[in-house]
Amino acid sequence: MNDYMKFKKILAWFVNQLNVNNNIIEGEKVTGRGYNNNSSLRKYYADCRSYTYFDLDCTINHQYGNYATTSNYINLANTSFNIIPVFDDGSKAVTSLYIGNHLPKKAIEHKSDTVPVDSLGLNDTEPNQALCNFFDIFNFKISEYKRNLTTDDEREQRTAFRQWYVNNVGTANSASTISTAIGKSRLKNGRAVFSILDFDELNDVIVTEGMDGYFEARGSDYSKMNTVFNIEANTQMDDLKNGIKFYLRFLKIRDSIDLIDEENNTDSSFLPNEIVLYHLGGLKETHNLLKRAKLYELRIRVQ
């Protein structure tokens, strides 16, 4: 099956499933986030997920039973670059699709015109010209996206990581050295490491490649890192390995603090980095954090 045919098939399944979930047509309602490696949703589009230069995943989600939202999309794996549906205001049927980049605070940066679903021939035997054109635009936009992955969010994340490292781990020179090594590396799909803001997302890639625990272990078999990253030739591999180890811990701590916010309806974003202390492979709890976040119990473990 060529890329055009796969693209037609995944679009057809996605549009059809949203119409089922919105009670437009009959069928089994399913939900899930396909970008999670253990997602049961992937089985529905497994044969049209992988393309020559990228993978796609589907997210089917609802807000209080309503599936006619931008929380549903076909996702360029490990990015916020998506194919997003447009729904009829009345019937909630999918009417068109467009390429967009999900930004913070639910904003969407449009990367293409909307394309009417009816023009794509999703039920035809072979891909029509409109569908092929849509795929070609998507493919081009992906290439463009990968060339311009250094965003404001990425720069802010790199700065936050360096500050956290200086506050809790080592020197400013060391922070600069390892963050430079990370900055010279990308995942195999082209995504910059500092554009990954979620621990599970980076850790899943590492575990999937059979490297669970690699960045915590001693040793110098640096060739293994090439299974996960595209690494510039002049990168110091020991700096990269050390950097990824600490970046994973940084993300883990960030995720833990976000979880505390959600579970306790608090906002710890105002807390200075030095309150969250990295100490001997784990976290040292502090009364200051507990008091200022208005929490009575905090147990966070970083493996």
Dist CA 239 CA 163 (whole Å): 17
- The domain ranges of the chain are 3-147, 152-292
**H helical segments located in the chain:** 3-21, 129-147, 152-168, 172-183, 199-208, 237-264, 287-292
- pLDDT tens, the chain, 303 aa long: 899 999 999 999 999 999 999 999 999 999 988 888 788 899 999 999 999 888 899 999 887 778 888 888 998 876 777 899 999 999 999 999 998 876 655 567 777 788 999 999 999 999 999 999 999 988 888 777 766 655 667 788 889 999 999 998 999 999 999 999 998 888 887 778 888 888 888 888 898 888 888 998 887 788 889 888 888 878 899 999 999 999 999 988 876 654 444 444 444 443 444 334 333 333 434 334 433 333 333 333 333
Its pTM stands at 0.52
Measure CA 280 to chain center.
29
Q: DSSP string covering 223-289, please? A: GGGGGTEEE-TT--HHHHHHHHHHHHHHHHHHHHHHHHHHHHT---TTS-GGGSEEETTEEE--HHH
Q: Is 99 helix (H, G, I), strand (E, B) or coil?
A: strand
